[in-house]
Amino acid sequence: MVNPALGRNANEDEIKAASDALLGKTLQEISESIHGRANSERHRSKMAVANLIEEDYFGIQINSDQAPDFEQAGIELKVTPLKTTGGGKLVRPKERLVLSMVDYGDIVKADHWTEVPALEKKLQRLLIIWYLHLQGENRANFPIIWHNIWEPSEERSKQIQADFKTIQEKVQQRESPSERHTEFLGTCPKHGGGFDKENPENSSRSALVAPGNHPFNEYAERRGWTIKSGAMLEVLHESTGLPPCKRGGASGIQLDELWEISNLQSSKEFTGTNRQKTFNDF
């Protein structure tokens, strides 16, 4: 595998081919391919994993720009973990997906979610790189297991719009919009703590948006747009085409079926003697 370092102006075919080349590779293998060695700092934390894939591999600098990461192709890049459940037979998203920072002024001015720049640019076309979080394992051994360019369907867009209107109403009512109010699209705190819900004026400076950035409240919490954790399972179903499964009280998709389609996808990149990987290889 060669590091493509595509950058922001890559076209869609280049992006897909580079994503295929990641499938089945561990974070250590990716780091060795790029740096000629395993850079342990690049897989020490969740943020470091994103840095390894986004900055080192794809050549996209981590940024807060409202434009999509692959600007020419109109594709946003996100790296997110899956976790095993159901006795290790199923996988599901490990957490919510944070999209971008919330701008309260944009919320109250918009009639539709696509009129909010941070959502329109980040949520229309998402390249999601899914890696498998292995409990108790060194993060360097986590493999990339799937990728897909996800786009909201017409029905999904309607659901996002309903959630957006709920969030808009909360902002207009001078309330903090929480994920408990919505089904798919949400917001979450984007700071290291220190926001005082009862007395926002006593909050730490880092927990607040800049003065004047909320149309109604003098003190408002820094929050980010999210696809909620439970909703990410729906995105996974849509991205893989695999049906939802239950095992006891656990829900997700079959891990062996995900490996199967991952191997089929990666076979476009590799031929000959390349052995297909399964969960037992990790």
Measured CA angle at 66 (ends 64, 72), to 5 deg: 115
- Give the span between the Cα atoms of 185 and 166, in whole angstroms: 10
What pLDDT, on a 0 to 100 scale, did the predictor assign at position 275? 41
**Confidence class of residue 282 from pLDDT cuts 50, 70 and 90?**
low
Question: Of 60, 149, 62, nearest to 100 (Cα)?
Answer: 62
Q: What is the pLDDT of residues 141-185, one digit of tens each?
A: 999 999 999 999 999 999 999 999 999 999 999 998 989 999 999
Q: Encoding tokens for residue 265?
A: 């996808």
What pLDDT, on a 0 to 100 scale, did the predictor assign at position 61? 84
- CB distance 122 to 68 below 8 Å: yes
What pLDDT, on a 0 to 100 scale, did the predictor assign at position 224? 96
| Cα within 13 Å of Cα(14), Cβ side | 17
What pLDDT, on a 0 to 100 scale, did the predictor assign at position 50? 87
Average pLDDT of the chain? 89
Q: What is the pLDDT of residues 38-80, one digit of tens each?
A: 555 555 566 788 889 999 999 998 766 778 899 999 999 999 9
Q: Is residue 271 over pLDDT 50?
A: no
What pLDDT, on a 0 to 100 scale, did the predictor assign at position 272? 35
Low-confidence winner among 26-30, 42-46, 122-126, 251-255 (lowest mean pLDDT): 42-46
Q: Which positions ≥6 away from 144 have C-beta within 8 Å? A: 22, 23, 24, 25, 26, 27, 30, 53, 129, 130, 131, 132
Q: What is the pLDDT of residues 191-230, one digit of tens each?
A: 989 999 999 999 999 999 999 999 999 999 999 999 999 9
Residue type, 161: Q
> Is the torsion defined by CA of 183, 121, 56, 206 positive or negative?
negative
- What domains, with CATH codes, occur in the chain? 12-272 (3.40.600.10)
- Give the span between the Cα atoms of 215 and 170, in whole angstroms: 12
What pLDDT, on a 0 to 100 scale, did the predictor assign at position 184? 98
What pLDDT, on a 0 to 100 scale, did the predictor assign at position 169? 97
DSSP annotation of 264:
H
> Which residue reads 């959630």 in tokens?
163
